[in-house]
Amino acid sequence: MPSIDVKAWQCIWVASSVTKWGTKMRFHVLFAALAASAAVASPAFAQAFPNDDAPATARGVVLQTHSLVNQTDLDFGIVTTDGTNPGTVTITPDSSGTRGFTGGVMLLPSTPTSARFDGLAAPLETVVLTLTGPVSGVLQDAAGDQIAVNSMSIDGVGTTETITANGTGKFTVYVGGDFGLGATQKAGVYSAAFKVNAEYQ
């Protein structure tokens, strides 16, 4: 009888183990099914909230400092007079700086130049240039002797010119003049200051 009881108990234990194992299997299978459902549902869930990208551009403009620089001075070179007749010496207001004369003035070998001014503005900006000639309208040497400034001009236009800077903001203008010498003009180095003003608009 005891042997029967032991065997019976062993059978019951085995059955109980099987039952527990079966429960655990069902539990794991349930979780696997839930995980599979979540994996299938995720793409559909993402598609319910679409998103878009829109390209744009960030930009700005930086201007260089406005400037006007004198590159060469106005110089009519070396001249003399015939001692009898007054005359003039001229420099054309352009890149060539061509020299001319009238009356008793005679041109001597030298390197005359027109005055050149290089400017920088905003691209295609309007610039108003104004020329102010030497004080009292004369050139003077160290001894106080004078030569008359008959006229000066910017690019042959006059004392005021309106220009447009190029696509990079650069511009160049030239100043020439007409100077009067006496028949017995004294020898000397004559000079005087003048200026060109640029107003940017």
Residue-wise pLDDT tens digits, 104-140: 999 999 999 999 999 999 999 999 999 999 999 999 9
- 142-192 confidence digits (pLDDT tens): 999 999 999 999 999 999 999 999 999 999 999 999 999 999 999 999 999
Which pLDDT score is estimated for 60? 81
Exposure letters 108-135 (e unless 16+ CB within 10 A, then b): eeeebbbbbbebbbbeebebebebebbe
Largest CA distance in the chain: 167
Instruction: Find the mean pLDDT for residues 40-66.
Output: 74
Tokens of 104: 């008793």
Rounded CA-CA distance 77/108 in Å is: 8
Supply the pTM of this predicted model.
Answer: 0.70
Which pLDDT score is estimated for 13? 42
Which pLDDT score is estimated for 84? 97
Nearest-CA neighbor of 199 among 168, 161, 170, 169? 161
Tokens 């559909």 found at: 44
Which pLDDT score is estimated for 70? 97
Nearest-CA neighbor of 75 among 188, 158, 196, 191? 191
Which pLDDT score is estimated for 24? 47
Which pLDDT score is estimated for 77? 97
Which pLDDT score is estimated for 7? 40
pLDDT > 90 in the chain, percent:
70
Give the Cα-Cα-Cα angle 137, 140, 144 (nearest 5 degrees).
Answer: 120
Burial of 183 (0-12, 13-18, 19+ CB in 10 A): middle
